[in-house]
Structure 1
Amino acid sequence: MSVLLKRQATLDHVVPRTRGGLDAADNVAVACRTCNSSKQDLIFPSEWIPNRDSFTYIKSSEPLPHLTNISRMARRITRLVAQLDPREDPPSVAKVCADHHWRPRAVHLALAEMHQRGAFCVFAYPCAPATRHFQPITDPHNAFAGGTWVGGWE
């Protein structure tokens, strides 16, 4: 809350009204005016997140379910997730790419692929700074699989 006190709060439409988004509670989140303005008509968190490499995190998990016909990078991420220590802070895409010499765009595409296939759910927060957390889902029948939850300030 202290971050918001120094900024002017606005309601951000996750899916902008110009792209069919509604004024419904599940489509709005509290965001500062700066973030809301810079987002324009992009969809958060799939299309817009400032400095996405530094503020997209991959959490650890038990081994992910076996996915067939996935990209090579998605297989690499599957192995990485199993090796991460759950007691440590999750690494950002920027750190993972620096450590493994991977291309950020390839990692983001693989994360999106795995999210669509239900191997991850995404928890996203719109600003101060905007973040995304890819949480692995080990059970493909889990209600969270492939879902995206957007939260404002608590």
Structure 2
Amino acid sequence: MVLHRLLLEDINEWERICEKLNEQNNNLKVPLENNTTTLHQFNMDLSDLFTEVNYYFGKARRNKDAISRIIENVLKDLYKGQNDLARKAAGIQLAQRYPVPDTAKPYYPEDFVNLFELEDQINAYYYALDAALKSLNHKASAKITNNSILNIERSLLPSS
């Protein structure tokens, strides 16, 4: 059932989601002017985007782990062959033309799927979302640094 679930993932939808989140991330700038209004707005925008990216990252991680387990099991299975290389080659060939489960055939148009290509597609959106999370964490750190500098500057100014 796991492969069935993976085959039903809409790769085009994942690409749209990753592009949209990447665009939102690129548009989210650490405020140049640090005051309570700009920092509050930035915190809200950062939190909202982080929550959305993290939600999709969790789904992507689940899919990445699932396809990795499927491929690992296919490659580790015992195949007929004269030696280890022949048995390994048989596993690779099976992974390249893995039979689509009957339950997925009404929704997936092919009889076979290349597990390595499926893994590549799944990894693409996993790593895109991973990069987005790292960027958002960096922006959060930059905001904290800017806020700290602002507080230090205020403490150095003479009181009126």
The bucket for the TM-score relative to the shorter chain is under 0.3
**TM-score, normalisation: structure 1:** 0.20
**TM-score, normalisation: structure 2:** 0.19
More strand by share: 1
Q: Which has the larger radius of gyration?
A: 2
Structure with the bigger RCO (C-alpha within 8 Å, sep 6+) is 2
More helix by share: 2
